[in-house]
Amino acid sequence: MRFTVSKTHTTRRWRTLALAGITAAALAVSGCSIQITSQPDPSIGEDTMLINADKGNPLFDRNFNPYITNARTAARWIYEPLILINPLDGAEHPWLADSWEQPDPRTITMHIRDGVTWSDGEPFTAEDVAFTFQLIKDSPELDIYGAWQHLDSVEVDGDTVTLALQSDDTPALAIIGKTMIVPEHLWSDVEDPSTYRNEDPVGTGPFVLGNYNDQQYSVDRNPDYWQADKIEIEHIVLPSTNNQLDTVTRGYDWSYSFISDVSGTWGAASPNNKWWFPNAGVIGLMPNNDVAPFDDVHVRRGIALALDRDSIAEVASEGYMEPAGQTGLILPNQEDSLDPSIPNGGIIEQDTDAALAEFAKAGYTQKDGTLVDEDGTQFEFSLTTANGYSDWTRAAQAVQRQLGDIGITVSLELPQPAGYQQAISNGDFDVAIGGMGNGDIYQAFNSLLSSDFYVPVGESTANNFARYRSDDADRLLAEYRSTVDEGRQGEIVDELQNIVYDELPVIGMYYGGSWGLYNDAKFTGWPTEDDPYMIPQNYDSAPLLTFTKLKRATGGQK
């Protein structure tokens, strides 16, 4: 090659280039501190709510079949359940069912609400309820809550629906009650309900479908809604949103997501932007109770005593969440059910000496700073968590450090979410990060402790991934199912808490949150810590109650 550049020329040029690069980088870094503000679309009126609740891919599929998991979010605001449940505390609100009784543990009778009409004007009747149950029986793909795992038969007499259960099963009410009712007069002609897109939905809910577009749709107030006097929102607009910058800048009235540094991002974008992050679950360590040495309660308790939950909660959730107790309950939501005899609300404090004493009972002793068994082998295990769940990953790293301090070697396994799900379903792990707790107390303990879900390592289960078994727990859960006496149920819940506290099938660390972001400029009356009437999530059926509580800030339409 005959083309060369003189040396000095090159050097000078690179110097200029480097300078330019540094300037650009400095600009980029300073750019990160540019404050992004909320820029609401002026064409969206005072009576209209902009909700960030539906994610397109990135376009929407026009699907309003409430039983398909990929349906549009608003499908579940158009179709209503029999009973509306607050996932925070399991509270049951009468919805399309006006009232209900459980005369014995095998029977539920529901009285259907009077004066409800479908949005096409047809009356809503108990026949529609019976039709819906038959529909999800015939198309098990649609039975997403598993009503027919509990139901035996459904009979209608006037406004009363009698649901016969397969066995003594009082907690089934909460599952069966979630069933969303669809109109018989329109759905009876549907050929294949499991792929039916229901493009023009007709429901009983507070809203009907308005404009529809691949990137945005709206729902309009249903003037004939059975509690129309409580709905002050005229329209709701749902754009297909895909990034968090949009969440902050587009002027949403209601959004839902974990957002880093919420006060500096969402909070700083508008003075009316507020948030409420109630405790909605317990994040903990799931030891594989079927695998040595985690089948030894002393090992599980030793690990529990070695953890500093304050620091784990701080690191994992950026300080938004608190350390969780070892009762299986979500506090403060389920405070009324807490067994007062359990010390400190069930929170296990870090106590290294006690931890070492527990490990000693299991045959592990500290030697030169490492924890070894009787043969002198280092105590080590792998901790599995899902790749991309950043709070879990930070918690796992904190656990790795803290257990490292007392001489346990923890290695992290980070498969993709699907691989993580497969690993915990099949028991292919030593210890995994996982959850416990449920607003419905029976479900919380049933999925945590029931040996019905127990399968050996290598087979797949949908619950009790920790593979815990206990005759006491099974007996208590069975007794709970067969009693309608709430006092006795309370005693059973106390005993179940003690099992979780003493046996540590899952080691609780900190609470998982429900990440409600809202703006009170146009609408007020949002659920808050002082008035936790509903979980602040803006998907599924939960918003149905929230919509009835929201009032127009400017005095409303009435």
Partner 1 sequence: MKYIAQKLGLFVLTLWAAVTLNFFLPRLMPGSPADAAIAKLSQNGPVTEATRAAIEAQLGVPTGSLWDQYLSYLHQVVTLDFGVSYTFYPQTVSSMVSTALPYTIGLVGIVTVLAFVLGTLIGVAAAWKRGTWLDSLPTLTGSFLSTFPYFWTALLLLFFLGYVLHWFPTTGAYAATSTPGFTAEFIGDVLLHAILPALTILITSLGGWIIGMRNAMINTLGDDYVTFAEANGLRGRTVAIRYAARNAILPNLTGFGLALGGVVGGSILVEQVFGYPGIGYLLFNAVIGQDYPLMQALFLMITVSVLIANFLVDILYGVLDPRTRR
Considering only residues 136-155, where is the footprint of partner 1 by CB under 8 A? 140-147, 149
Alpha-carbon distance of 4 to 480, in angstroms, equals: 87
The nearer residue to partner 1, 226 or 392, going by C-beta atoms, is: 392
Q: Is 375 helix (H, G, I), strand (E, B) or coil?
A: coil
Angle at 14 between CA 10 and CA 18, to 5 degrees: 175
Would you count residue 210 as binding partner 1 (CB under 8 A)? Answer: no
Stretch that binds partner 1, among 57-65, 202-210, 309-317, 549-557 (CB under 8 A): 57-65
Please name which of 388, 384, 403 lies closest in space to residue 311, comparing C-alpha atoms: 403
Would you count residue 171 as binding partner 1 (CB under 8 A)? Answer: no
Sole binder of partner 1 in the list 40, 48, 63, 159 (CB under 8 A):
63
The nearer residue to partner 1, 143 or 358, going by C-beta atoms, is: 143
The nearer residue to partner 1, 20 or 228, going by C-beta atoms, is: 20
Sequence-separated contacts (24+) of 37-41 with Cβ below 8 Å: 37/249, 37/268, 37/269, 37/270, 38/248, 38/249, 38/250, 38/251, 38/269, 38/270, 38/273, 38/519, 39/249, 39/250, 39/251, 40/250, 40/251, 41/250, 41/251
DSSP 435-479: EE--SSHHHHHHHHH-GGG---TTS--SS-TT----HHHHHHHHH
User: Which residues in the 313-372 window bind partner 1 by CB under 8 A?
Assistant: none
Would you count residue 540 as binding partner 1 (CB under 8 A)? Answer: yes
Would you count residue 216 as binding partner 1 (CB under 8 A)? Answer: yes
211 CB burial (10 A radius; 0-12, 13-18, 19+):
exposed
Sole binder of partner 1 in the list 191, 376, 418, 555 (CB under 8 A):
418
Would you count residue 463 as binding partner 1 (CB under 8 A)? Answer: yes
Q: How far is the CB of 365 from partner 1 (least distance, A)?
A: 37
The nearer residue to partner 1, 224 or 452, going by C-beta atoms, is: 452
Preceding peptide of 103 cis, ω within 30°:
no
| Pair of tokens at residue 471 | 């005759």
Q: How far is the CB of 530 from partner 1 (least distance, A)?
A: 24
Contacts of 555 (CB under 8 A, 6+ apart): none
Q: How far is the CB of 334 from partner 1 (least distance, A)?
A: 15
Contacts of 89 (CB under 8 A, 6+ apart): 333, 334, 439, 532
The nearer residue to partner 1, 356 or 424, going by C-beta atoms, is: 424
User: Which residues in the 483-522 window bind partner 1 by CB under 8 A?
Assistant: none
| Pair of tokens at residue 6 | 């003189």
Q: How far is the CB of 194 from partner 1 (least distance, A)?
A: 7
Sole binder of partner 1 in the list 281, 287, 293, 325 (CB under 8 A):
281
Alpha-carbon distance of 306 to 302, in angstroms, equals: 6
Stretch that binds partner 1, among 224-232, 328-336, 481-489, 536-544 (CB under 8 A): 536-544
Sole binder of partner 1 in the list 447, 489, 538, 546 (CB under 8 A):
447
Sole binder of partner 1 in the list 40, 94, 210, 419 (CB under 8 A):
419
The nearer residue to partner 1, 146 or 525, going by C-beta atoms, is: 146
Stretch that binds partner 1, among 68-76, 122-130, 304-312, 493-501 (CB under 8 A): 68-76
| Pair of tokens at residue 108 | 């539920």
User: What are residue 301's phi and psi, to 5 degrees?
Assistant: -70, -35
Sole binder of partner 1 in the list 188, 416, 554, 557 (CB under 8 A):
416
Q: Tell me the number of residues near partner 1 by CB under 8 A.
A: 71
Stretch that binds partner 1, among 123-131, 340-348, 395-403, 415-423 (CB under 8 A): 415-423
Preceding peptide of 293 cis, ω within 30°:
yes
Stretch that binds partner 1, among 118-126, 233-241, 290-298, 498-506 (CB under 8 A): 233-241
Alpha-carbon distance of 507 to 307, in angstroms, equals: 10
Q: How far is the CB of 524 from partner 1 (least distance, A)?
A: 26
Residue with tokens 């509690």: 227
Would you count residue 1 as binding partner 1 (CB under 8 A)? Answer: yes
Lay out the sheet containing 273-276: strands in order across: 207-213, 216-221, 235-239, 48-52, 254-256, 516-519, 273-276
Stretch that binds partner 1, among 107-115, 238-246, 295-303, 357-365 (CB under 8 A): 238-246
The nearer residue to partner 1, 11 or 39, going by C-beta atoms, is: 39
The nearer residue to partner 1, 62 or 552, going by C-beta atoms, is: 62
Stretch that binds partner 1, among 75-83, 261-269, 457-465, 487-495 (CB under 8 A): 457-465
Angle at 393 between CA 392 and CA 398, to 5 degrees: 95
User: Which residues in the 371-410 window bind partner 1 by CB under 8 A?
Assistant: 386, 389
8 A C-beta contact, residue 198 and residue 74: no
Would you count residue 117 as binding partner 1 (CB under 8 A)? Answer: no
Please name which of 403, 395, 467 lies closest in space to residue 429, comparing C-alpha atoms: 467
The nearer residue to partner 1, 53 or 355, going by C-beta atoms, is: 53
Contacts of 139 (CB under 8 A, 6+ apart): 192, 193, 194
Secondary element (H or E) of residue 551 = strand 551-552
The nearer residue to partner 1, 8 or 243, going by C-beta atoms, is: 243
Q: How far is the CB of 208 from partner 1 (least distance, A)?
A: 20
Q: How far is the CB of 242 from partner 1 (least distance, A)?
A: 4
Q: How far is the CB of 179 from partner 1 (least distance, A)?
A: 12
User: Which residues in the 241-270 window bind partner 1 by CB under 8 A?
Assistant: 241-243, 245-246, 249
Q: How far is the CB of 413 from partner 1 (least distance, A)?
A: 11
Sole binder of partner 1 in the list 23, 99, 213, 227 (CB under 8 A):
213
Alpha-carbon distance of 511 to 547, in angstroms, equals: 27
Sole binder of partner 1 in the list 93, 137, 185, 197 (CB under 8 A):
197
* Residues pairing with 507 in the sheet: 285
Alpha helices by DSSP H, 110-236: 126-138, 172-176, 184-187
